[in-house]
Every structure is written in structure tokens, then in C-alpha cells.
Chains A and B, each alone.
Chain A
Amino acid sequence: AQSVTQLGSHVSVSEGALVLLRCNYSSSVPPYLFWYVQYPNQGLQLLLKYTTGATLVKGINGFEAEFKKSETSFHLTKPSAHMSDAAEYFCAVSHYNQGGKLIFGQGTELSVKP
């Protein structure tokens, strides 16, 4: 079985500060890992994904994440927060033989203070 834990349901940063959103996963098979962003009353948009290959992946809007197998982590970072980054962020796990089904964490709400 696979599962995802996002540490911290709310994270608040100042504009221009580092953003760090934490994600740990559990998987008995090599995982595919994703970060999605959700703005209020909207669907989810893919920020970045790790399937195979390079463990540091870059996504849209300046976000990146690093797959660390030894730590079972896939934390999301951005060097400098912008007001427009305020949203809900979801980490998700899947596997190539699961038909594309995604298992999501509970989400982290990011607030950005001016």
C-alpha cells in the first residue's frame, strides 16, 4: 500500500523568503511522486513530477523538489516566495502499474505575507 504524509497543514512565509513544504511517502514499490497546486474553487494543476532519472526535478513557477529514497521524502522548495504562490499544495504518489491512480496527502496551505 502507498501513502503520503505532508508535515504541516499550514505554512506561512514572508514574500521573498524560502518556501519549504514537506512530503514523506510510503511505498513498497518504486514510487512516482508529484506535487500539485490548487487555487480556491479550482482543480489541481501539476507543478512537477518524479518518475525516473534525475532526483532533482524542476517544475513551473520556480518550484523544485528532490526525491530522496533513503529519507522517503519529496520536499517542495522555492527560493523566493511570491504573493501569487499562496494556495493549497498536495503531494501525491503513484506507481507505473496502478493505472495512473494518485494517492494524495492531506495538503499544505501556503500563506505569503507582504
Chain B
Amino acid sequence: DTGVSQDPRHKITKRGQNVTFRCDPISEHNRLYWYRQTLGQGPEFLTYFQNEAQLEKSRLLSDRFSAERPKGSFSTLEIQRTEQGDSAMYLCASSTQDFNGEAFFGQGTRLTVV
């Protein structure tokens, strides 16, 4: 297993376009998390899944954002009608359900909205 992988690593899009990011967690991890990180700030929690169920969504997650994990494996995060304020690094992490504190992070997808 090569860890948590995210695709693409970089995305440049025009304002108003839709974008979709993918995250592949560590295979035996049934929890998957999405975070957003803006320049000079710590990551902010967006949402998390346990298997295919989305158990919590942050108030930061506007109705333009949607996340899915249809088969409890990979996850997608879609942003509709992108705005310049959506420019950020989007980080995915995974962990086991028996939470011992170790969430493994992917390298992130850097989104630039122009």
C-alpha cells in the first residue's frame, strides 16, 4: 500500500466551472476525511465518512460542495460554480475506526480559481 493518494495534484479552473477531486485512502481504513487548507493557515475540517456513510459535515461546506464515497473505498469531492475564495489546498486523510489518533494524509490537491 502506498498510502493515501489524491488526484489531481494541481487544478486550475475558471470561476464558475465545476471541479472534482478524488481520494484513495489506505485500503484497510474505513474512515476518510476531507480538509481545506488556505495559505498560512492550518487545515480546516470539511467532512468525514465511515465506510460509505457521511457522518459529519462542517458549516464550512456550502451547498456548492458535495462529497461522496459510494462503495466505502475512494471518495470524491465536487465543487460546483467555483469561486475565487475556493482556491486552497484540499487534503484527504484516512484512519481506522478504532481511532488511535493516527490519520494518514495525502499530498493534497491544490486548486486555483482564476
Contacts and interface: CB of A to CB of B under 8 A. Distances in A.
Interface residues of B, number: 28
A44 B104 CA distance: 8
Given A43-B108, A100-B31, A90 B103 contact: no
B106 to A, nearest CB: 5
Interface in B5-56: 31, 33, 35, 40-45, 48, 50, 55-56
Contacts of B82: none
A112 B110 CA distance: 27
A100 B94 CA distance: 9
A99 interface: yes
B74 interface: no
Given A43-B91, A90-B42, A90-B43, A100 B105 contact: no
A99 B43 contact: no
Given A49-B102, A100-B31, A100-B95, A107 B40 contact: yes
Contacts of B40: 9, 106-107
> Which of A90, A103, A104 has the most C-beta atoms of chain B within 10 angstroms of its own C-beta?
A104
A96 B97 CA distance: 11
Given A94-B101, A99-B55, A100-B48, A42 B41 contact: no
Interface string A1-28: 0001000010000000000000000000
B41 A107 contact: yes
B43 A102 contact: yes
Contacts of A94: 99, 101
B31 A99 contact: yes
A104 B35 CA distance: 10
A99 B101 contact: no
B100 A51 contact: yes
Interface of A: 4, 9, 32, 34, 36, 41-46, 49, 51, 90, 92, 94, 96, 99-107
Interface of B: 4, 31, 33, 35, 40-45, 48, 50, 55-56, 91, 93, 95, 99-108, 110
**Which 6 A-B pairs have CB atoms at the shortest separation, nearest pair first?**
A104-B42, A43-B105, A49-B101, A44-B105, A100-B99, A43-B107
